[in-house]
Amino acid sequence: MVDASYFLAIGESLVCDHNDRFLFSNAELESLNIDICFDLPNVSEGFYCVAILKNLDKSQLKRSACLREALSKTETEDEFAVLSAAAQVVTWHASFKYCPRCATELMMDEMDLAKVCPSCGHHQYPRLSPCIIVLVRNGEKCLLAHSSKFKSGRYSTLAGFIEAGESAEHAVEREVMEEVGIKVKNIEYVCSQSWPFPHSFMLGFMADYSEGEITPDGEEILSADWFSVDDLPTIPPKFTISRQLIDRFIKER
């Protein structure tokens, strides 16, 4: 094995040692039962791999209790990116065992981070699901919403998957209308972030309110309102793209 830092996983879960350490050296892998290793995409400095374990040595390792918590403890964008990449590759490996065309068991491609069907030749790459996430501005206030998936009191920006055939900008308009019943204008791309829940690729936007009354859909969005900088509710943690958009709004004010 080359000199690299390794993430470890079993099934769909990353594992860590009993000091909550995720990265391991070559030497530390020698005593473990490794099934397969993947080189991770070049998303940060250094060389990283993820090693899939055949079994979990409970005396040495434990399943990660919460990926979100682990991500929240990362100190740099590079640390976030490589942990996100590891989590997404693990999910992909666990989810795609067989060819979606002919059901033959997939094999690892010798060159790329991909699996190939020995029967029909189909290549299966790690899945990415493009999404939009948007902060809507209305003068000195911004629109934040409480989702049915959030903890009590948590508010964030609006988000949703991009549908087949539509642009990211159209997805912004559609998702805002579907979730809270208003129209937006001046849609501006800001930044992106890989989001491993389970394999989302978030495209972040700012937009301005155009018309309409806030009307939460009652299913995905339970409540939403306009908030000023000095009266914000509980918002997402620093490592999230939603928080980056909110912080940008705060800085603009």
Average pLDDT over residues 213-237: 97
Is residue 13 a contact partner of residue 58, using CB atoms and an 8 Å limit?
A: no
Q: What are φ and ψ of residue 186, in 5° steps?
A: 50, 50
pLDDT tens string 118-174: 999 999 999 999 999 999 999 999 999 999 989 899 999 999 999 999 999 999 999
**CB 122 within 8 Å of CB 156:** no
Q: Please determine, for residue 2, whether its predicted confidence score (pLDDT) is greater than 70.
A: no
User: Can you give the residue ranges of every domain in the chain?
Assistant: 5-95, 97-127, 129-252
Query: Alpha helices, DSSP H only, in 57-206?
Result: 67-72, 77-95, 168-180
pLDDT above 70 coverage of the chain, percent: 99
Residue owning tokens 């094999």: 107
CB–CB of 137/207 below 8 Å? yes
Average pLDDT over residues 215-241: 96
The fourth-level CATH superfamily of domain 129-252 is Nucleoside Triphosphate Pyrophosphohydrolase (3.90.79.10)
pLDDT tens for residues 30-87? 889 999 999 998 887 889 999 999 999 999 999 987 898 899 888 888 899 999 999 9
**What is the structure's pLDDT at 173?**
98
Q: What angle do CA 65, 68, 74 make, to 5 degrees?
A: 105
User: Sorting pLDDT into bands at 50, 70 and 90, what band is 1?
Assistant: very low
